[in-house]
């Protein structure tokens, strides 16, 4: 599937000066676990980027922007410069959460206009270790390149709360909720203070894009997941905070959808606005 590389490919390209490897491991219920795991062992040469410190802005007191707001453009440019990403580099991101955190970096690089290839390591760190490939605890130094990362924001990739509200039930626009079905239906909500989903949204749990072995399904299998959607429609993807929606963005684009956008604030942003409608149960009920 487009947007992925295998462990074997990465092993063969470890020494390339044009490949930048990024470890994105992170646990929502234990924010320090990802970096600790990285320090204990990672793919040689990989840098570590933290979901909350590096790939998100601080959560606002009023929760506007959601639990993982998009990072400030200048700050994310500084982060990418620190690990040496320059024009034309092939960035390979990985995690051990099925690609969810790595997909956040994949999306941010595309949103900031990176002109090199951007890939997710299929099966992540677990697949790397299972293949018997080397693991290191050596932390690479910050990049010494003189070339800063220059962002070129792609505004058309993201929508705001107000834009989502304008599109509710509008023909030609479809909302895709990437959370587990019980959260979508409002039967349980372990994270956010309000349960349910945005009215009209269809539910496509992001992990259904993976096989039982944790590998991304093929482009044809992804097309089957979204067979009831039209490639001509505007597809707006969301989740709880804009992170696990990113694997569905990847899957939709691999399946041939041409107009896929991220509601970056997602459910945690939607419910912060008084008066926004909320639906529970399935849409057909």
Active centre residues (catalytic): 239
Instruction: Specify whether the CB–CB gap between 149 and 81 falls below 8 A.
Output: yes
Distance CA 38, CA 26 (A): 10
Nearest Cα to 164, choosing from 283, 252, 278, 270?
A: 270
**What's the full length of the chain, in residues?**
285
Residue 197 DSSP class? B
Residue with tokens 């096989």: 211
Nearest Cα to 4, choosing from 211, 169, 218, 151?
A: 218
Instruction: Specify whether the CB–CB gap between 240 and 67 falls below 8 A.
Output: yes
Phi-psi region of 259 (alpha: psi -120 to 50; beta: other; left: phi over 0): beta
């Amino acid at each position: 599937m487009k947007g992925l590389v295998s462990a074997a490919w990465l092993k063969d390209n470890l020494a390339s000066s044009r490949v930048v490897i990024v470890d994105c491991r992170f646990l929502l219920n234990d924010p320090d676990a990802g970096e600790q795991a990285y320090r204990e062992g990672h793919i040689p040469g990989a840098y570590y980027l933290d979901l909350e410190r590096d790939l998100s802005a601080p959560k606002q007191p009023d929760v506007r922007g959601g639990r993982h707001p998009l990072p400030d453009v200048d700050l994310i440019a500084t982060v990418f410069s620190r690990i040496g990403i320059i024009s034309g580099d092939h960035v390979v991101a990985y995690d051990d959460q099925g690609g969810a955190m790595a997909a956040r970096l994949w999306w941010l690089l595309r949103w900031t206009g990176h002109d090199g290839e951007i890939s997710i390591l299929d099966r992540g760190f677990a697949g790397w270790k299972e293949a018997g490939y080397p693991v290191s605890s050596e932390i690479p130094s910050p990049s010494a390149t003189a070339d800063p990362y220059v962002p070129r924001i792609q505004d058309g990739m993201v929508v705001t709360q107000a834009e989502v509200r304008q599109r509710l039930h509008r023909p030609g626009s479809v909302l895709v909720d990437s959370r587990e079905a019980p959260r979508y239906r409002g039967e349980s909500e372990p994270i956010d203070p309000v349960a349910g989903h945005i009215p009209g949204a269809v539910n496509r749990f992001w992990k259904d894009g993976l096989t039982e072995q944790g590998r991304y399904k093929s482009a044809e299998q992804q097309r089957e997941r979204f067979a009831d959607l039209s490639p001509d429609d505007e597809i707006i993807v969301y989740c709880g905070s804009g992170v696990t929606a990113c694997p569905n963005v990847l899957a939709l684009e691999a399946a041939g959808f041409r107009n896929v956008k991220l509601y970056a604030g997602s459910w945690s942003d939607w419910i912060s606005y008084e008066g926004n409608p909320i639906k529970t149960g399935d849409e057909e009920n």
